[in-house]
Amino acid sequence: MTGLIKAVDSVARKLSTQDAFSGGLVIQSAYKVDESSTRALLFSQLQRLVRSVNATRSFQTESDLQDAVEDIIEIFPSLKIEEILLCFKHIRQGKYELYGNLTTNTLIKCLHEYEIEHTVPMREREHVKVHEYETAHINWKKVSRALEDSGLISNPKKTLEEAGGFVHLNREDFEEITRAQKEGYKAKNAS
């Protein structure tokens, strides 16, 4: 957090949206570690944004700015601080239409737009990478041969007991199996 505060002016200029997402500090984590520094950082950057945008309708008092910072922390706990700073930069650059207003409401809308445009797709790509499960390209015959060659499967035709396994069956289960085998044998011989 301390390094981020010292380099805050260069952070938004140097980072890409991908870098901010992958290497950034989650607001919720920063807030848990140091509430006052997190608030102060967002407050100072919001003040800077207000001065640079010069909107006709904007925050009137420091209390308005503090409320906006609290709302950002509450509404966007999973965004990274660097992402918020990038969003502020995009607002300054005119990438989000403000229509002369820079209030908490328009700020929240801009952050939602940023999140939908940049953060959500990156989260989805990360989710897909983590949960990717491919079976279509597995050559099962090759896997089977490799297991046999390695000695893990010495004779694929062994019974469960021969392979060292066991089954939890009671007397009734064995009787049912015997009865089914006898019926199968009778049916086979009858035809």
pLDDT tens over the chain, length 191 residues? 555 655 566 666 778 888 888 888 899 999 999 999 999 999 999 999 999 888 889 999 999 999 999 999 999 999 999 999 999 999 999 999 898 899 999 999 999 999 999 999 998 888 776 655 555 566 767 777 777 777 666 655 666 566 566 666 677 877 888 888 888 778 777 76
* Nearest-10 crossing angle of helices 35-53, 62-75: 120
- pLDDT at residue number 167: 64
Q: Write out the two tokens for 92.
A: 């300054």
- pLDDT at residue number 81: 93
What is the C-alpha R_g of the chain?
A: 32
Query: By 3-state DSSP, what share of the chain in percent is helix, strand and coil, each rounded to 5?
Result: 70, 5, 30
